[in-house]
């Protein structure tokens, strides 16, 4: 079936639908879920956004970029991104926990970088994610960003679908980020 997606900036009426899409992709990292996810059959999110937090992000279009994809008027996916300097303010330990070498470290420290926090879609809307990603990258370019970065879980389980999706869209691994003793994220970058 052909699916035509409309991409738009999210508005307050989209918050409930975004949360539904998020909840459909949210996984608790329990031993049984980790075992189930090892087959790499689906991408997933593990850090939830909450209603008030998401409402604030949607309403602040100066510092945040929240896009929704609609198919036949229904929100079928979303992307949430903001400037890396905001992510560093929200997560002061991030710079301590990130491991990046070479020229990419200089880009992270000196460049204008967009941090992609979430990208997710409803089941059955396979092309939706690519439509949102293309729109997000185009908006980042138009706003003079040098690159977009994303963290993708690599341990205790690899989010293989998300890794492949980002690599398909030109992202490559530049380092890693530790979170506690058990979680390690791959840090992926797409230069614009």
Strands 147-155 and 98-100: unpaired
More confident residue, 164 or 63: 164
**Short-list 84, 71, 85, CA closest to 121:** 71
Return mean pLDDT, the chain: 90
Q: What is the CATH number of the domain that holds 14?
A: 3.40.630.30
**Looking at residue 110, what is its pLDDT?**
86
* Run of H or E residues at 65: strand 64-71
In the predicted structure, residue 1 carries a pLDDT above the cut 60:
no
Mean pLDDT, rounded, for 72-96: 92
What is residue 171's three-state secondary structure?
Answer: coil
Task: Show the domain range for 85.
Answer: 5-191
Under 8 Å between Cβ of 65 and 114: yes
Count of domains for the chain: 1
In the predicted structure, residue 11 carries a pLDDT above the cut 90:
yes
Q: How confident is the model at residue 39 (pLDDT cuts 50, 70, 90)?
A: confident
Q: How confident is the model at residue 150 (pLDDT cuts 50, 70, 90)?
A: very high
């Amino acid at each position: 079936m052909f699916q035509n997606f409309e991409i738009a900036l999210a508005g307050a009426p989209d918050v409930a639908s975004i949360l539904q899409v998020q909840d459909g992709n949210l996984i608790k990292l329990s031993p049984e879920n980790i075992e189930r996810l090892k087959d790499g059959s689906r991408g997933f999110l593990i850090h939830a956004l909450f209603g008030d937090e998401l409402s604030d992000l949607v309403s602040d279009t100066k510092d945040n970029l929240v896009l929704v994809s609609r198919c036949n008027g229904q929100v079928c996916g979303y992307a949430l991104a903001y400037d890396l300097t905001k992510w560093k303010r929200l997560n002061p330990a991030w710079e301590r926990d990130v491991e990046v070498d070479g020229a990419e470290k200089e880009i992270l420290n000196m460049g204008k970088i967009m941090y992609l926090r979430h990208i997710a879609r409803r089941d059955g809307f396979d092309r939706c994610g690519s439509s949102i990603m293309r729109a997000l990258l185009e908006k980042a370019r138009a706003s003079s960003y040098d690159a977009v970065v994303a963290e993708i879980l690599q341990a205790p389980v690899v989010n293989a679908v998300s890794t492949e999706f980002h690599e398909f869209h030109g992202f490559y691994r530049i380092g890693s980020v530790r979170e506690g003793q058990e979680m390690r994220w791959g840090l992926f970058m797409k230069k614009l």
